[in-house]
Each structure stands twice: as C-alpha cells, then as structure tokens.
A and B are shown apart, each in its own frame.
Chain A
Amino acid sequence: AQSVAQPEDQVNVAEGNPLTVKCTYSVSGNPYLFWYVQYPNRGLQFLLKYITGDNLVKGSYGFEAEFNKSQTSFHLKKPSALVSDSALYFCAVRDGGAGSYQLTFGKGTKLSVIP
C-alpha cells in the first residue's frame, strides 16, 4: 500500500519569506512524487514531479522540491513567497512499478501568504 502524509493542515508565511510545505510518503517500490496546487473553485494544477535523477526538481511559478530517500520526504519550497501563492497544496505518490495505476494524494496543506 502507498500513502502520503502532509503533517500541516495550514502554513502561514510572510510575503518575501521562504516557504516550505512538508510531505512524507510510503511506497513499496520506487516512488514517483508530485506536487499540485489548487486555487479556490478550480481544479488541481500540476507543479512539479520527481521520477528519477537529480534530487532537487524545479517546477512552475518558482517552486522546487527536494527528494530525500532516507527520510522518505518530498518537501515543496520557494525562496520568496508571494501573496498570489496562497492556495491549497497537495502532495501525491505512486509506485513506479509496472501495472500500478493509482496516484495517492495527501490531505492537502493550506498556504496563506501574509502581506
């Protein structure tokens, strides 16, 4: 079975400060990891993914995430937060093994960037 934990329901950060949204995962095979963002009354938008290769992956809107195999983590980061980054963020994982079609999502973290 695969699972994702986002330990913080809400993260508050001041505009201009660095932000981190935490994610840990559990999967039996090689993890494929994803971050999505959801703005109010909208669908989810893909931000970035880790499949293989460099542990630091860069994505849309200046976001990046670091894959840490030993800590089974995939935290989302941004050096300088914008008010427009305020949204709901979801981490997701799937087992990279063949025949595994299901993506498992965390429960989401609400990010509020304070002006």
Chain B
Amino acid sequence: DAGITQSPRHKVTETGTPVTLRCHQTENHRYMYWYRQDPGHGLRLIHYSYGVKDTDKGEVSDGYSVSRSKTEDFLLTLESATSSQTSVYFCAISEGPEGAYEQYFGPGTRLTVT
C-alpha cells in the first residue's frame, strides 16, 4: 500500500459526535487526498492537500474538515457525524509532477454512524 497507513481501520460512532481519521505516509509525498466510497458512487474526493497547511475542497466536502501540520500526516475530521457519513474512507498519495500521475491508496477506514 505504498507506505500508507490509516487509523482506525474500523469505527462505530454515534450521531453528533466528532470523529477524526488519520492518514500517515512514510515516503514524503507532497500530495495527499481523502475519498469516500459508497455503492453506486465510486470514489468521491472530499479534500486534498498539496503541501503542509495547504488544503482545498473536493467534490463532497460539506461536513468535513482536514488538517496537515506535517508532511506525513493528513487528518480528516467529521465535526458532528451524521448517518449519511457512514462510508468507507480512503486516503491516497500521488506521484509525478504536481501529483499528476497515479495515486496510491491506503487500506481504508470503515466508519459507521449510528
């Protein structure tokens, strides 16, 4: 998985609670991404980062925030979890100039909001 780890791997939480997912990479990649995967939707980009403290919104960013205080860690926070945020979350890094080439994915975090 290209030196990418995600934690936790599984989490069950209650509606209204805050949740933080962590992505950690060991290979000093500049570009990092958070996606969610839902049946019938493929993967949809939540937020991405192009450097420390440089982040931007993706297609489905409402209800999510991110932080990147150091190169190796990219955190995804659900400020107040809702049942619609039940999903599998994947972190990715990308190769190439300006991260333009292939992306490599972490193992995923399965989040259930009850």
Chain A interfacial positions (CB closer than 8 Å to B): 32, 34, 36, 42-46, 49, 51, 90, 94, 96, 98-108
Contact = CB atoms under 8 A, between A and B. Distances in A.
B31 A49 contact: no
A43 B98 contact: no
B45 A46 contact: no
A46 B44 CA distance: 17
B104 A46 contact: yes
Given A43-B108, A103-B103, A98 B45 contact: no
Nearest to B2: A46
Given A32-B101, A43-B108, A46-B103, A106 B42 contact: yes
SS of A interface (majority):
loop
Interface in B56-114: 56, 58-59, 90, 94, 98-108
Contacts of B42: 90, 105-108
Contact of B50 (A36, A51, A101): A101
Contacts of B106: 43
A43 B102 CA distance: 14
Contacts of A94: 100
Contact of A43 (B1, B31, B40, B101): B1
Contact of B31 (A36, A45, A46, A101): A101
Nearest to B106: A43
